[in-house]
Each structure stands twice: as structure tokens, then as C-alpha cells.
Amino acid sequence: MAYEAVAARLGVAPRELEESSLRLYLEHKLRVVDSQLLDLQRRYGVQTVAELDALVQGGKLHEAETFEDYLEFDRLEAEKEKLVSALAELG
């Protein structure tokens, strides 16, 4: 069903429905990413991928054991930045 039809049924402007839907989607995705980041942060006792890298470089963790999580941590941090930026653009 098109935004216009749903908006008419709800008695709201299509643009308002579209913006609200987008905001909810981005907020949901951000919560999912934050949850995944929190899992990695707790697992390694760090807050950022840079801190995880420092532990590997310092010999406290083995690169082979953390490589997959390192890549995922980095990807999640980048995804979070995009989501936060998109939410900021919405105002």
C-alpha cells in the first residue's frame, strides 16, 4: 500500500508518515548495531575497535583469535556512524 493511501487512512500528511517511518527504521537499526557492539565490547573489555587493536598489538590478545571479531567491530562502528549521521540529517 502506498504512503499516500496509508497516510490518508491515518489522517496524516504523506511526508510526515514517510519521515516518521524512516526515523523509526534508522533508530531500530541503530539499536541493533549498538547491541552487537556492546556484545563485542563486553567480550574484549574495550570500547572501540582501536582499543581492541591495541590489545592485539600489545600481545594481550592473539590476532588469529580476534580477526573475525575485529573486522565485525570495525564494520559495526562504521555502520553506527552512518546511522547517527542519517538521524542527524532528519533533525
Domain locations along the chain: 20-90
Whether the predicted model's global pTM rises above the 0.85 cut? yes
- Alpha carbon distance 29, 86 (integer Å): 11
Residue pLDDT, tens place only, 53-65: 999 999 999 999 9
Residue pLDDT, tens place only, 14-32: 999 999 999 999 999 999 9
Is the pLDDT assigned to residue 1 strictly greater than 70? no
